Structure 1
């Protein structure tokens, strides 16, 4: 092109230089002719070269739409000049829709003829693209035939044929025309052309004659499309579109009205069901007898009262009846009660250094020296922490006392809950039954949730099932139900707790202050108010002398005083709990 422009400038300078050389009519004509030839070469030369390399002078499509929605297409390609060595056409078999969906098309019965001769095309599928390639072998025209399923879509409740009758062709097209045979009356015809997804109208789209819409367009470049859209009244042709829902988290756990409504309804009904189950199964029976406190402060003189146990109810019983569990504090309070009753002596050992760890020796009373009043769980506890004839250090309990022994104490205490008539069934067994049911429900709910999330939009329903299973696990811990006798005892324990929190600690019988206050202490440990009763023991010390053996059940080092008891006992309880239950 630069060469042509330089020639034009050169020619112009020669024609304008009249002073040096006369201009004649012949020279002007010659120059004008040269300019026309060069301009013509610029305008038509490249196109002529591309045309010769292989293009389609005409693409004619004849389509037939059956009443069942099947669309059969015959596409005749007439080549300009010699046919190219290879022709390919790529079809998009998937159309992306809003809402993580796609419309899928299926091509079948693909065949190619060239000048009437049957060819063997190569068909390649790559994801959502299906490419048909063939060698026309020098033919003047070739016909590509195929059948497409899924092109009749649901357009606002009525069928519409939507298909790119020209798409993905590997060569430019000078002229395009299409004729579509349809099974009945149509509502509208539309046509767009250009690059994929273009909205430019085709050259023409008309009704044609005898229900045969026709379309024309061109020229079109390689890969450009001509898309037709023919609408029909309901019932004229069957809708056969195939919509694929693509998996996403938003789709799997859709908040659409239907899945959300089902999930919320199920959550409400399930929650009500859990509450009803707890009220009917896990509710305590109402006490039928008169409520009595298991222990009380009985006046014995003016301004004096002693602590008396009514019945055979021990601190371990008290704690288990209150919260339906054998907690570490119940075991430790039982050990303190055994010491107060003379079955075991707790001796705090001198520290080896200022910052050394505190330790205690547990010495069991010799046979015959302690009262014969042990309950089965107390006997199990003594055998575990202080076997007969031995002295055991608290620091050694971790290696001497196995978890089976601790579990045996807890099991024996649960058995006594039933034996004494306070629970109809062991609380731990009741909790275990409901926990197993909840775990089974949780596994099923997780599986259902996974299936719903993978295959449907109802993942929220599965989440609701998981929440209900977790709710059952929580409610199951509250399912142990007290009998009428157990409820009466619980009410009495509430009254006793009030006494422990309000009764003055300085009104014990004279001379028996330490023993009476000591009897109260294990019950105060499980019900509350232990600090004030420890302070009462400290206040009962009327001198500044060391008190290593003033208490019958707790001895300290030689310089130990009763004022050290709160700190010593707190350390003892914490250490025993940690040693027995933190493994």
Structure 2
């Protein structure tokens, strides 16, 4: 292989990696700064400190430096870990610095998260003198009153030897720790002089390390404890589980629960107790024989809304069946294209409807036949989509007009749900605030839970009037009749019409199959049937098949409503 070919892969690799390396270097100012600090060298360090009678420590530090750059920085930490939950905090004031006996040029005293960053201009051989006063250095402990301060700290380079002299009146003992942050390694030497001066020496303090002295005071000391502590935030502390937090959370949730239940008791209950409902026989005996008669003339769609306080798919479907039975439209089952082909039905309008129709019935009729007097169920979804809201609005308005509710059930639910969501949101905000500043985050959870309860209770809040409660009792009686009785006791000539009139009510009360079979039972021969007026099937269709046909129709039409509007709220 030629030298050119041997060098080509290496050249390509260099070309590809050089820009990436250059970008990394350009985006790494911290590395450059660290390199500058590494060029600095501390050759000597001494410190003198005195504890004043008011519990403040006056500190003077002298640092001999061979500067590798034009600036030098250190950080005095004022927050030190005390125990598993608390930090000890110190106060710094009167901070100043000189360089070679002159006020430091470019001196900056900047606040950081846990202390003060001191920066000044230097060049070459420099003698830096830092002066400051530290507060909160005296603490009461189980061992007595003690004074402590991490006096050597915040240097980005190592200190070869540190010599300290600390004057603490009435000091009785002294100890010292040096090394990395959190180290418990004792200093090279620490002793208490005859005049209560602490003499401390440490050979080698690593870059970023600390030297902390700790001394005890005798009972004769008059200086008062002034140590301050701050609780360290943690998720466990924010959501502390103890008697106080649990107790307060239970109280808050209990108040919210009682409030929600109280609102329901006074505002959400029916105006009268609903009875179990005696069997309601919907048969009116007249000159032409027995006829179907719904209790109080209630319509199927109204039944569903009174029962569950919601205008939903079942109510709309039952209303359409009722309109068909009353000859406003006919349902024509279409022949399948194959044995496993999809079922479909054509709805044909027979009558435009007049004032005898309730507004929601007329709205549904117009919505279904908005594009013509015939429509396939399979095509209803897109055409019904913009029209169903009006049907639902009219049905809710109707139950208020009838005097069964004082207010629209959906509006009542919306108010309660909105109040619950607002309380839930307030609970979220309160949880965040309490978790940040206290240990009572669980109380915010309790408020959130109370909001959720309010929203859930609100679903049962629409209150029926006394008249509405009475109608509901009669509907319960009608349901009892439809579930347990049949049309077999009626004359044969009236059974088909009676069962057909019962079917929409059975559909809204979950008894479609039973009353579809009642209609099918009127088929007394083996011949194909043309239909029963409001429902007709394809060729060779038998009335005895209507049970399956109606079940499929209810499912298909309800599905088209669900597609048109993802269920009603």
Q: TM tier, shorter chain?
A: 0.7 to 0.9
TM-score with structure 2 setting the length: 0.77
Distance 2:483 2:73 in 1: 92
Counterpart selection for 1:335 from 312, 320, 331: 320
Counterpart selection for 1:577 from 558, 562, 566: 558
Distance 2:123 2:556 in 1: 94
Distance 2:52 2:118 in 1: 25
- Tell which structure's C-alpha radius of gyration is larger: 1
Partner of 2:269: 283
SS of equivalent to 2:81: strand
Counterpart selection for 2:367 from 384, 391, 403: 384
Counterpart selection for 1:566 from 518, 539, 547: 547
1:432 and 1:528, CA in 2 relative to 1: closer, same or farther beyond 3 A? same
SS of equivalent to 1:501: helix
How well do the aligned residues superpose, as a CA RMSD in angstroms? 3.9
Counterpart selection for 1:178 from 165, 186, 196: 165
- Cα deviation per residue 1:324-373 (whole Å; 9 max; x = unaligned)? 01111111101111111222111112223333332222222246xx8973
Partner of 2:434: 452
Distance 1:158 1:480 in 2: 68
1:491 aligns with 2:478: no
Give matches, 1:475-514, under 5 Å.
475-514=457-496
| Contact 2:274–2:473 under 8 Å retained in 1 | no
> Which segment is superposed worse, 259-268 or 283-292?
283-292
Counterpart selection for 1:308 from 278, 293, 306: 293
> Which segment is superposed worse, 159-168 or 482-491?
159-168
Once the 2 structures are TM-superposed, how far is the Cα of residue 96 of structure 1 from its aligned partner? 2.4
Counterpart selection for 1:260 from 215, 236, 246: 246
Distance 1:297 1:277 in 2: 41
- Cα deviation per residue 1:378-418 (whole Å; 9 max; x = unaligned)? 12221222369822222332343343x32212222212211
| Contact 1:348–1:360 under 8 Å retained in 2 | yes
| Contact 1:252–1:458 under 8 Å retained in 2 | yes
Partner of 2:333: 348
Distance 1:360 1:314 in 2: 24
1:120 and 1:305, CA in 2 relative to 1: closer, same or farther beyond 3 A? same
Once the 2 structures are TM-superposed, how far is the Cα of residue 278 of structure 1 from its aligned partner? 1.4
Once the 2 structures are TM-superposed, how far is the Cα of residue 143 of structure 1 from its aligned partner? 5.8
Unaligned runs of 5+ in 2: 1-40, 565-569
TM-score with structure 1 setting the length: 0.75
Once the 2 structures are TM-superposed, how far is the Cα of residue 106 of structure 1 from its aligned partner? 4.4
1:515 and 1:247, CA in 2 relative to 1: closer, same or farther beyond 3 A? same
Once the 2 structures are TM-superposed, how far is the Cα of residue 481 of structure 1 from its aligned partner? 0.4
Unaligned runs of 5+ in 1: 1-52, 78-82
Distance 1:552 1:271 in 2: 55
1:86 and 1:241, CA in 2 relative to 1: closer, same or farther beyond 3 A? farther
Distance 1:401 1:91 in 2: 72
Give matches, 1:190-339, under 5 Å.
190-196=174-180, 197-200=183-186, 203=189, 205-206=191-192, 208-209=194-195, 213-218=196-201, 220-223=203-206, 225=211, 227-231=213-217, 236-287=222-273, 296-297=282-283, 307-339=292-324
Q: Across the two proteins, how many residue pairs are aligned to each other?
A: 509
| Contact 2:159–2:204 under 8 Å retained in 1 | yes
